[in-house]
Amino acid sequence: MKSMPSSTQPDYICRISELLRPKIGVAGLVLDLFAGCGGLGLGFESAGFHTIGFEMDSDCCATYNANLAGACQQEFLTPQTRFPHADVVIGGPPCQPFSVGGHQLGLKDSRDGFPAFIAAVDQLRPSLFLFENVRGLLYRNRWYLSEVVAQLEQLGYIVEFTVLNAVDFRVPQNRERLIAVGHKGGYQFPKPSHSRVNAGEALGDSALEAPEDAKYLTESMDAYVARYERASQCVNPRDLNLQKPARTLTCRNIAAPTGDMHRIKLSDGRRRRLTLREAARLQSFPDWFEFHGQETSQYYQVGNAVPPMLSYALAQSVKSYLETFAPLDEQEIQSRRQPVQAELLLEQ
Ligand SMILES: C[S@@+](CC[C@H](N)C(=O)[O-])C[C@H]1O[C@@H](n2cnc3c(N)ncnc32)[C@H](O)[C@@H]1O
C-alpha cells in the first residue's frame, strides 16, 4: 500500500506517525497473543516495551514483522503452547462460545481462544495481563466473562474490567471495547482525554475528492443502501460525517459492500468506499504502517485491530503500574476482589 508523502498528511497523522514509532524496549517484555497485525502490540512498543507476537494467520504475521520491532511467530495457540518468559501478557483472544447451535459451551468450545490465554498466564505468571474483547461480553454473555475471570483470579490476580471508547484516546472513531486487566494491586485504567478527533482531521481535505484507487457504489448499491436505511429506521444517514468521529469500523463494514458499509458521499452525489489507508487512519494507524496480503485480508487486519492510540494509552498505564509495582499479599488481593465479583452478580 502506498503511503502519502508527509507534506500532504494532516497534522493528526503527522503527530501519530512520530508518537507511535516503536521505541527501544526497556519498559519490559510483552507477550502479544492472538496478535493480529499488531495494533495492540504497536501501542506497547511505542510506550517502550519489547513485544513478541504469536498469531496463526500468515498475512497478519507478515504485517507485524514488517512494522513492529518485535517478531511475530506464526503459530496456532492452544493451552499446550509453550512461551518464553514475559513481564506482561496481552491479547485479543477470539471468543465464539455463544452461537454454537444454542449450546453455550464457554471455555469448552474448541474455537475459543481464552483457554490458551489463561494457560499462558498460568505458565508465565506475569506481573500483569491484559485482554480486550467485544463489549457484548459484559452484557449478554456475562456468564462467560464470569467464568474467565474466576479462572484468572484463581491464579492469584485481581481482575478488573471496564469498557473504554477509543474516541476518548485520540482515535477518530467511536469504538467501545471491553478491557480486562489482571494485576496484584494498584493498577489504574487510563483516564479519557477531553478532546476528540474528527474523521476529517485524520482523512484530510482529500476525503471529498475521488482518489485514483476509489471504489464507487453502483446505482443498485445506492438503492440497496436506501432500502437498508429505511428498514433499519436509520435516523442519521450512515455516510461518513467528517465533522464527527467515525462510527465503529468492523471487518464486515469496511471489507464488503453491505448496506451498512463505511462510505463517503462526494459533492457530486456519488458515494465511494473507504480506501484501505483511510480505514487504517480512522483506526489511528500511522501512514508508514504497511499491511500485507490480499486486499480483503488487509481490510480484515484493520477491522480486527485495537486502535494503536488506545493501545498506547493502555501501555502507558501498564508502564506506570510496573514502575510502582508493590504486590499485595493474598489476603489483600482477596478483599479487593470482592467488589468486582459483587458488581458482576448485582448486574446479572
Ligand atoms: C481480534 S484479532 C487480534 C487483533 C490484534 N490484537 C490487533 O490489535 O491487531 C484476533 C486474532 O486472533 C487470531 N487467532 C484466532 N485463533 C487463533 C489461535 N488459536 N492461534 C493463534 N491465533 C489465533 C486471528 O487470526 C486474529 O488475527
CA distance 321 to 185: 9
Give the rounded percent of residues in the chain with a pLDDT score beyond 70.
89
- Within 8 A by CB and 6+ apart from 73, the residues are 52, 53, 54, 55, 61
pLDDT digits (tens, 9 = 90+) for 140-175: 788 889 999 999 999 999 999 999 999 999 999 999
Please report the domains of the chain, with CATH numbers, ordered by start residue: 8-195+307-346 (3.40.50.150), 199-303 (no CATH)
Grid cell of 208 as nine digits:
471529498
Residue 43 beta carbon below 6 angstroms from any ligand 1 atom: no
Residue 58's Cα: distance from chain center in Å? 19
Radius of gyration from C-alpha coordinates of the chain: 21
Ligand 1 pocket mutation pick from 32, 52, 55 by most atoms within 8 angstroms of CB = 55
pLDDT digits (tens, 9 = 90+) for 203-230: 998 888 887 778 888 888 888 888 888 8
Global pTM reads: 0.91
Per-residue pLDDT, 105: 56
Per-residue pLDDT, 100: 39
User: What average pLDDT score do residues 293-322 get?
Assistant: 97
- Beta-carbon neighbour count of residue 115 at 10 Å? 19
Residue 40 beta carbon below 6 angstroms from any ligand 1 atom: yes
User: Over 90: is that where the pLDDT of 305 sits?
Assistant: yes
Q: Is 95 a catalytic residue?
A: yes
Q: Provide the terminal-to-terminal Cα distance of the chain, rounded to the nearest Å.
A: 46
CA distance 197 to 165: 13
User: Over 50: is that where the pLDDT of 41 sits?
Assistant: yes
Per-residue pLDDT, 224: 84
User: Over 80: is that where the pLDDT of 344 sits?
Assistant: no
Grid cell of 80 as nine digits:
499446550
CA dihedral for 151, 47, 73, 254, sign (positive or negative): positive
Q: Report whether 6 contacts 17 (CB < 8 A).
A: yes
